[in-house]
Structure 1
Amino acid sequence: MIAVLMGGNSAEREVSLNSGEAVYQALKSQQINCFKFDWNGDNLEDLWSQHFDLAFIVLHGRGGEDGVIQQLLEDRNITYTGSNAGASANGMDKHLCKNIWQSENLPLAPSILANKDSTTPTIDFPLPWAVKPVSEGSSIGISKVTSLDQLDNALTLAQHYDNKTLIEQWIEGEEYTVAILDGEALPVIKIVADQDFYNYESKYLSNSTQYLCPCGLTEQQEKQLQAIALKAFQAIKATGWGRVDFILDEHNSPFLLEINTVPGMTSHSLVPMAAKAAGITFEQLVKKVIHAAQK
């Protein structure tokens, strides 16, 4: 029996519910015994009272992607999909993740950490900047700062979601993403957002954001991105499946943005899109994620 864990109480709750429904329907269509469980933050006793052998985690954001639910499942010796508690925590904390990647000499834009109750440190790299909560997903709370007088508002927005904020040099360029499935990089997708950047609205609400696969890069460039994505994935000790996001600047130099250890599985989601380009149906994708968890 498989429990599809969805919902949660993070800012990404609605996306998670959509992802969970898609996974549940894919399992049901293959006659796989499963049930949906909407975790609202304080009803886990209801989950533990049910019999299941594996948890398919499609909880996005805090509680579901940061190692919390993973640790609770580990404590009960229950198999689950995706990365373990430690790797999930590494991936969710953007500052910690960047430090790990930096130690592996992976390509990164310069950044600094700002704490809510402290003076903002001196920023020694040029505008524009990306200001983002350290532990939030789906581009929630992110601002593009093009002049110094915009910084306070950007910090206020980011600190609504997290006490810690990452201020990062904004790299102008094209956005790409690489899905990882059971140790392999899937075809690269280019994202052409209909907004100034690939924000929450572009990701989930817009019908005019374009996803290009084939992505338009040369074979050599695509292989380079896939190799960096795999190295970034392995550096934080992620396993199973995930997604690594990049910006390529005007010189086609790649910069890592972030990693998602519980990517979306909605109709707008990128991992199913990359899987389809590799000849993997949504139903097969769901089974492959489960298979990776059972190894």
Structure 2
Amino acid sequence: MEGAPVTTHPTIAVFAGGTSSEREVSLGSGAACAEALAKNFATEFFQIDSNALPAGLDPARHVVFSTLHGTFGEDGGMQRLLDEAGVFYAGCGATASELTMDKSGTKHAVARQGVRVPPGIAFPSDRKPSATEVIAQLGGQLVLKPNSEGSSVGLHLISGRAQLEAALAEVTTNCGWIIERRIVGRELSVGVLNGRAMGVVEIRPRSGVYDYASKYTKGATEYLAPAPIGDAATRAAQEAAGTAFAACGCRDYARVDFILSAENELFLLEINTLPGMKETSLLPMSARCAGLDFTALVRELVSPAMRRFLTAREQQKSA
């Protein structure tokens, strides 16, 4: 990609949209971030409509701030295209993005570092375990979900053999799936910025289930920031979030989600490397607990990529 002469003042290219099931959520995140970034940087908005780099993107003058959620945007696909084109971008690199989009792979990586995870079985849709096998290993209170989707897409909460058999019968999508023992407790989310955990947010869906509708229906969920869980549990969640972030090779920022059981045991649910980024989203809530408003947060999120861009340009000049 040949472009304009090298500049020392890059423009932020905000990516939004994409081709995944989370396209509309991404468009909202992108619009909010573009508006906030424009307060501090020259900014251009790119609506992504295919699994390709957009026309007009120039590695000599752009640093990308992506708000693409889900498949291709968050799973390392777009990151690899940017790397190949020599474009600097905020957030996790391709390898960490691919790993954290894989819930089963993430669980293995963080468990090796001592972070507790729910017991589970990962399987492809054409090799489903039997209900008898699942119940023998995990019991009858279960969660079934796609292994590589976000925003609780395809989430099933299961109680007993009949519901399990019905849910497994519906597993026809040609992708990986994961079924886990359901941990009943308080849902928590922790933003991580440059390896340091920020505030802990508690999520209280009024329906009792934090599914797609609870996430994106106004008034369907109550959020408490900071979470009223006590100092010890707060520190434990922040420490576990930082450990998980490092275990998966993340950089710049991410959001780490947990369940806190009735026995005060933390279980990691997932790591989101490109989480929702409206002002009312979980990562901005976590940041406000740490004293960062939305404008300050997005400035901090993109700053490491800006530094990588400028360092590379200085090295080019001195070469």
Alignment TM-score, normalising by the size of structure 2: 0.87
Aligned counterpart, 1:224: 236
Aligned counterpart, 1:193: 205
Q: Could you tell me how far apart the structure 2 residues matched to 1:101 and 1:89 are?
A: 15
User: Would the aligned equivalents of 1:10 and 1:63 in 2 still touch at CA under 8 Å?
Assistant: yes
Q: Could you tell me how far apart the structure 2 residues matched to 1:48 and 1:178 are?
A: 32
Q: Could you tell me how far apart the structure 2 residues matched to 1:134 and 1:47 are?
A: 34
Q: Does 1:22 align with 2:29?
A: no
Q: Which one is further off, 103-112 or 237-246? A: 103-112
User: Would the aligned equivalents of 2:279 and 2:294 in 1 still touch at CA under 8 Å?
Assistant: no
AA aligned to 1:62 is T
- Going from structure 1 to structure 2, the CA distance change for 1:182 and 1:49 (only over 3 Å counts) comes to closer
- Give secondary structure in 1 for the equivalent of 2:38: helix
Question: What's the offset of the Cα at 1:13?
Answer: 0.5
Q: Could you tell me how far apart the structure 1 residues matched to 2:26 and 2:185 are?
A: 29
Q: Could you tell me how far apart the structure 2 residues matched to 1:157 and 1:195 are?
A: 23
AA aligned to 1:20 is G
1:101 to 110, 118, 132: 110
1:126 to 127, 139, 143: 139
2:49 to 13, 18, 40: 40
- Going from structure 1 to structure 2, the CA distance change for 1:180 and 1:49 (only over 3 Å counts) comes to closer
Q: Could you tell me how far apart the structure 2 residues matched to 1:119 and 1:213 are?
A: 39
AA aligned to 1:136 is E
Question: What's the offset of the Cα at 1:50?
Answer: 8.6
Question: What's the offset of the Cα at 1:279?
Answer: 1.3
Question: What's the offset of the Cα at 1:198?
Answer: 0.9
User: Would the aligned equivalents of 2:52 and 2:78 in 1 still touch at CA under 8 Å?
Assistant: no
Question: What's the offset of the Cα at 1:142?
Answer: 0.5
Q: Does 1:258 align with 2:270?
A: yes
User: Would the aligned equivalents of 1:132 and 1:158 in 2 still touch at CA under 8 Å?
Assistant: no
Q: Could you tell me how far apart the structure 2 residues matched to 1:35 and 1:157 are?
A: 42
Q: Unmatched 5+ residue regions in structure 2? A: 1-10, 309-319
AA aligned to 1:131 is L
- Going from structure 1 to structure 2, the CA distance change for 1:208 and 1:83 (only over 3 Å counts) comes to same
1:70 to 59, 79, 86: 79
1:116 to 116, 125, 137: 125
Aligned counterpart, 2:193: 181
Aligned counterpart, 2:88: 79
Q: Which one is further off, 50-59 or 82-91? A: 50-59
Aligned counterpart, 2:160: 147
- For residues 180-229 of structure 1, the C-alpha deviation after alignment (integer angstroms, 9 at most, x for no partner) is 01121111011111123111111111314111112111112101110011
Q: Does 1:4 align with 2:4?
A: no
Alignment TM-score, normalising by the size of structure 1: 0.94
Q: Could you tell me how far apart the structure 2 residues matched to 1:190 and 1:233 are?
A: 19
Q: Could you tell me how far apart the structure 2 residues matched to 1:115 and 1:127 are?
A: 21
- Going from structure 1 to structure 2, the CA distance change for 1:22 and 1:95 (only over 3 Å counts) comes to same
Identity of aligned residues (%): 37
- For residues 116-174 of structure 1, the C-alpha deviation after alignment (integer angstroms, 9 at most, x for no partner) is 112425211112110000000011100001122222443455653x5211000000111
Q: Could you tell me how far apart the structure 1 residues matched to 2:24 and 2:88 are?
A: 25
AA aligned to 2:164 is L
Larger Rg: 2
Runs of at least 4 residues off by over 6 Å: none
Question: What's the offset of the Cα at 1:52?
Answer: 3.7
Q: Unmatched 5+ residue regions in structure 1? A: none
The root-mean-square deviation of aligned C-alpha atoms, in Å, is 1.7
- Going from structure 1 to structure 2, the CA distance change for 1:231 and 1:50 (only over 3 Å counts) comes to closer
